[in-house]
Structure 1
Amino acid sequence: MNTIKILWVDDEIDLLKPHILFLEKKNYKVTTCKSGTEAIDVLDDENFDIVFLDENMPGLTGLETLNEIKEKKDNLPVVMITKSEEEYIMEEAIGNKIADYLIKPVNPNQILLSLKKNLDHSRLVSEKTTSNYQQEFRKIAMDLSMVNSYEEWVALYQKLIYWEIQLEDIEDVGMFEILESQKNEANIQFGKFIEKNYADWFEPNTDSPIMSHTLFKEKIVPEISKEQPTLLIVIDNLRYDQWKVFEPIINNYYKKEKEDAFFSILPTATQYARNAIFSGLMPSDMEKLFPQYWKNDTDEGGKNLHEADFLDTQMKRLSLTHLNYEYHKITNLKAGKKLADNFKSVKNNDLTVVVYNFVDMLSHSKTEMEVVKELASNDKAYRSLALSWFKNSPLLEMIQQAQQMGFKLILTTDHGTINVKNPSKVIGDRDTSLNLRYKTGRSLTYEDKDVLVTKNPKELHLPSITMSSSYIFAKSDLFFAYPNNYNHYVSYYRNSYQHGGVSLEEMIIPFVVFNPK
């Protein structure tokens, strides 16, 4: 192991001989200086892992020395040591990004603790995280064998996401692989649970979760009022884990009041799930009641062109027409900037709805563009890419402005997405839908074990394209592939992000309510 090199700067360094001997016995190499000027010269010639810096020195003061060190070596950790507890000194030092702050007299163990905290911090956190997950692993495995309600599935999925985000920053690849296998097992069991229970959720007087078509009435309407304007943001294709990494950014402006998960309807695809949110209806009802707005998979033209119209019909049905509301759909940077620049124009609305279409575009471009394939090669990278977009997006500008204007904020999505790894062969006629995670059409041939199938679409409140249409939904991380040109097709789509099927990632999605700080 490399010896850790410490630079200790103090005009009374001779009095610190016992501390230095203590550290040298622990195999630290300590170089000493009696002034800030001397320290700056030494730093020009030699590299150190950490600096202990006395604040109160003649000549160049500790704070002045700190500024010079940071100009030369911004990432070098500096621990300030001072006799004074004056607030302005602490604020100055902290503002200059000190690594730690110790008040004299210091004892050797304080020094050792500061070293551990700053130099061994990542290793210690890594070991602690690994050991905590090892304990939790057994509990998750037990929960997996017993989970039997939608509430328990939500709790289990949230726990898996928590550990995925905790483990992503540590170096233990083995732990990550164990978690991946738990997620895969969870998705297999979840597929069985949905197969057994999903159709029953539409029966009257059944204990069913909030779903796409009930979300607006049950969750959003109770939050809207004349007293406070509400900004409802629907980020297309936002997974629960992506929301969790967005959360700290939003927390700078808003405080979270409620966080719930709800279930996307099947297929977990935008034309079904998002239209269901805005219409408050299942797809078969949309087709029957509003044929002018609904398009089936095989119909020509855009499938999501009438969300604002569907919202109008729902507002009327729920007797909410006394509210001022507006609907905006953002599908490119130019439209996002335009709305952010003119955001003050929505200040008199009771409800402003913004559908933001970036994460969905990211998942599609990952399939089509080599550079994005590389940037979003796995879930960790996909989260990171989505976070980078969010931090620099017009959407965040809108959230900041909404906070200043006193808006309540609601953040949600229509469905999630899953990284597909394994192909499942399917055969259909020329009218079969094209989606990789679900298919609808006549005379479909498929692997029974790989799919949730409904021969009677009305049972799942889905439209039938023909009298003999059925639907199949891919489970776990599978994607549908046709036998012709099979190998090319499989290598092109493997490890891409798709939606439409049955998985925790696609179906269990966030609904969060905030109030401005």
Structure 2
Amino acid sequence: MTQKSSILWADDEIDLLKPHILFLQQKGYDITTVNSGIDAVEEVENHNFDVIFLDEMMPGMTGLETLQQIKQIKPQIPVVMITKSEEEHIMDDAIGGKIADYLIKPLNPSQIWLSVKKILQNRQLIEERTTHSYQQDFMNISMAIGEAEDHEDWANIYRKLTYWDIQIDSTENKSMHEVLETQKTEANSSFARFVKDHYLTWLEEKNQQKPMLSNQVMKRKVFPKIKEKKPLFFIVIDNLRLDQWEEIEPLLTPYFNVREKDTYYSILPTTTAYARNALFSGMMPLDMARFYPNLWEDEDSDDGKNNFEEDWLKINLEKNRIQCKTSYSKVIQTNQGKAVLDQFHSMLQNELNVLVYNFVDMVSHARTDMKMIRELAPDESAYRSLTKSWFEHSSLFELLKKIQAAGAEVVVTTDHGTKKVNRPYRIIGDKNVTTNLRYKQGKNLNFEGGKVFEVRKPEEAKLPKLNVSSTYVFAVEDYFFAYPNNYNYYVNYYKDTFQHGGVSLEEMIVPIVHLSPK
């Protein structure tokens, strides 16, 4: 038998409220009544209640004073403030006291019941509605997966799956979560086939049906927004997926309007060395290596692959005949983030400020290497939560608040996403083969065909090659490459970790957002 919910109602005219109390009792609620704030506090000290109704205008201890004491004793109990007054300062004080609802007399029974229902059954009602809505949309998404013909179709499918992922994540209905995971798996399988069929054609100069790729982002989404003597901030958060952005965006809504929210396709490999360098240079990796060999680091180099981002940026600006005062900053450590905040005033003198925040990338790799982080983010829901928590306490959030206060605009994006990998895929290569788990470049690669995207002629994918017989192989869906040597150890170590470099919705379709200050 379900236990009745209990309500405490404090009002110095409680006898006049008997019809309302009787109505709630008929709806199945237990009601305790008191005539003063002092009695209400005593009841809260000695008993547990699910909701408290509190009259604001009581003699002796006022409703607001009573609210303050109740919150000190049991801060989690939802309190509904009831008043005859519509004065704004009373509403402000009540809201500041973290009330759950605010009702103005005269009351009617349905108004009270709705307030109680909203507070006590909110999660259940949302869960039922979410489950029902996703069940209705499930068939639409399945049909869209089967009928998808172009990159826009796939971007829309991924947006829908991301929306439902976050909505269902807020419920406790695990059965719907399992259904969604199955549908995401189906989508990624079909998406991999789509990419195999179309990726190389996207790179042909005359193709007008291709999506916006990494090397086109700044020309199309950043440069047109540069204005003389007005600062624009271009922020690249490394490794940020669409679902992670959706978790962050609500934190920014008090400060910014979303002028434009779009997605673009990260080039392959979906790694920092290739995708981010393409983002900044406005070129594909083959052209970067061919025309600027002094800046391009090959796979066999021991040097960092992203040491020349500022140089690539300057080349891109020159190529597009853009002359503007520019700054570039990379934030990997806390002290670097603080330095950016300290330099903010001088940044306002620039027309373009480019900033790279590497923390999300660090978290994803730390999740592989550190047991603590691995336990903190055992699944995608926790990974989103971890990203949100980082952002809330980051120097980046502080920077964005400063940008808003200064009235400047922002373009936020990433270079690629990540994929949670589960299934190993055996591959054999020599010692010079790349170590990345989601793609391999080298010669004499030996693997079973099928669940990979193989590029035998790297130049067709606008990729450089170390020698004549070099090929690229990209993992698809949730596979990751594993060598036969120490196979079981390798599989157990990397299974259920977040990786990037391959072909998946999560890695390739990434957000780009234009924010204007409120």
Q: Which residue of 2 aligns with 1:63?
A: 64
Q: Distance in 1 between matches of 2:268 and 2:97?
A: 53
Q: Which residue of 1 aligns with 2:344?
A: 343
The aligned amino acid for 1:265 is I
The aligned amino acid for 1:205 is K
Q: Distance in 1 between matches of 2:404 and 2:461?
A: 40
Deviations for 1:143-198, whole angstroms, at most 9, x for unmatched residues?
Answer: 11101100111111001101111111100000011111111110000000000000
Q: Normalising by structure 2, report the TM-score.
A: 0.98
Deviation at 1:335, TM superposition (A): 1.0
Q: Normalising by structure 1, report the TM-score.
A: 0.98
Q: Which residue of 1 aligns with 2:81?
A: 80
Q: Which residue of 2 aligns with 1:91?
A: 92
Deviation at 1:27, TM superposition (A): 2.4
- Matched-pair contact (CA < 8 Å) for 2:229–2:349: no
The aligned amino acid for 1:327 is Y
Deviations for 1:265-289, whole angstroms, at most 9, x for unmatched residues?
Answer: 0000110001111111111111110
- Matched-pair contact (CA < 8 Å) for 2:82–2:105: yes
Q: Which residue of 1 aligns with 2:517?
A: 516
Deviation at 1:252, TM superposition (A): 2.1
1:182 aligns with 2:183: yes
Deviations for 1:346-375, whole angstroms, at most 9, x for unmatched residues?
Answer: 121111110110000001000000100011
Q: Which residue of 2 aligns with 1:373?
A: 374
Helix, strand or coil: the match of 2:98? Answer: coil
Q: Distance in 1 between matches of 2:63 and 2:303?
A: 69
Deviation at 1:326, TM superposition (A): 1.4
Deviation at 1:308, TM superposition (A): 0.9
Q: Which residue of 1 aligns with 2:407?
A: 406
Q: Distance in 1 between matches of 2:268 and 2:33?
A: 68
- Unpaired segments of 5 or more residues in structure 2? none
Helix, strand or coil: the match of 2:159? Answer: helix
The aligned amino acid for 1:140 is I
1:315 aligns with 2:306: no
Q: Which residue of 2 aligns with 1:333?
A: 334
The aligned amino acid for 2:446 is T
Deviates more, 1:435-444 or 1:63-72: 63-72
Q: Which residue of 2 aligns with 1:355?
A: 356
Q: Which residue of 1 aligns with 2:221?
A: 219
Helix, strand or coil: the match of 1:301? Answer: coil
Q: Which residue of 2 aligns with 1:256?
A: 258
Q: Which residue of 2 aligns with 1:294?
A: 296
Q: Which residue of 1 aligns with 2:123?
A: 122
Helix, strand or coil: the match of 1:449? Answer: coil
Give the CA RMSD over aligned residues.
Answer: 1.1
- Matched-pair contact (CA < 8 Å) for 1:428–1:445: yes
Q: Distance in 2 between matches of 1:25 and 1:399?
A: 51
The aligned amino acid for 1:232 is F
Helix, strand or coil: the match of 2:275? Answer: helix
Q: How does 1:145-156 map to 2 (within 5 A)?
A: 145-156=146-157
- Matched-pair contact (CA < 8 Å) for 2:231–2:347: no
Q: Which residue of 1 aligns with 2:23?
A: 22
Deviation at 1:443, TM superposition (A): 0.9
Q: Distance in 2 between matches of 1:137 and 1:414?
A: 30
Q: Which residue of 2 aligns with 1:142?
A: 143
Helix, strand or coil: the match of 1:361? Answer: helix
- Matched-pair contact (CA < 8 Å) for 1:268–1:501: yes
Helix, strand or coil: the match of 2:425? Answer: strand
Deviation at 1:84, TM superposition (A): 2.2
- Matched-pair contact (CA < 8 Å) for 1:229–1:406: no
1:271 aligns with 2:273: yes
Q: Which residue of 1 aligns with 2:365?
A: 364
Helix, strand or coil: the match of 1:354? Answer: strand
1:2 aligns with 2:3: yes
The aligned amino acid for 1:78 is V
Q: Which residue of 2 aligns with 1:388?
A: 389
Deviation at 1:227, TM superposition (A): 4.2
Q: Which residue of 2 aligns with 1:472?
A: 473
The aligned amino acid for 2:463 is L
The aligned amino acid for 2:339 is K
1:481 aligns with 2:472: no
Q: Which residue of 1 aligns with 2:102?
A: 101
Deviates more, 1:295-304 or 1:498-507: 295-304
Deviation at 1:25, TM superposition (A): 2.6
- Matched-pair contact (CA < 8 Å) for 1:6–1:49: yes
Q: Distance in 1 between matches of 2:126 and 2:348?
A: 45
- Matched-pair contact (CA < 8 Å) for 1:5–1:49: yes
Q: Distance in 2 between matches of 1:429 and 1:344?
A: 52
Residue in structure 1 matching 2:249, options 247, 251, 255: 247
Q: Which residue of 1 aligns with 2:429?
A: 428
Q: How does 1:425-464 map to 2 (within 5 A)?
A: 425-464=426-465
Q: Distance in 1 between matches of 2:382 and 2:19?
A: 48
Q: Distance in 1 between matches of 2:227 and 2:21?
A: 66
Deviation at 1:303, TM superposition (A): 1.0
Deviations for 1:186-222, whole angstroms, at most 9, x for unmatched residues?
Answer: 0000000000000001112211111011111122111
Deviation at 1:120, TM superposition (A): 0.7
Deviation at 1:132, TM superposition (A): 0.6
- Matched-pair contact (CA < 8 Å) for 2:6–2:50: yes
- Matched-pair contact (CA < 8 Å) for 1:228–1:406: no
- Matched-pair contact (CA < 8 Å) for 1:50–1:77: yes
Deviates more, 1:122-131 or 1:340-349: 340-349
Q: Distance in 2 between matches of 1:242 and 1:172?
A: 21
- Matched-pair contact (CA < 8 Å) for 2:409–2:516: yes
Helix, strand or coil: the match of 2:450? Answer: helix
Deviates more, 1:105-114 or 1:455-464: 105-114
The aligned amino acid for 1:299 is S
- Matched-pair contact (CA < 8 Å) for 1:426–1:483: yes
Helix, strand or coil: the match of 2:86? Answer: coil
Deviates more, 1:23-32 or 1:468-477: 23-32
Deviation at 1:515, TM superposition (A): 1.4
Helix, strand or coil: the match of 1:448? Answer: coil
Q: Distance in 1 between matches of 2:175 and 2:448?
A: 32
- Matched-pair contact (CA < 8 Å) for 1:331–1:358: yes
Residue in structure 2 matching 1:238, options 237, 240, 245: 240
Q: Distance in 2 between matches of 1:14 and 1:346?
A: 65
- Matched-pair contact (CA < 8 Å) for 1:426–1:482: yes
1:200 aligns with 2:195: no
Q: Distance in 2 between matches of 1:327 and 1:376?
A: 31
% identity of equivalent residues: 49
- Matched-pair contact (CA < 8 Å) for 2:229–2:350: no
Deviation at 1:312, TM superposition (A): 1.4
Deviates more, 1:296-305 or 1:425-434: 296-305
* Displaced runs of 4 or more, over 4 A: none
Q: Distance in 2 between matches of 1:447 and 1:229?
A: 52
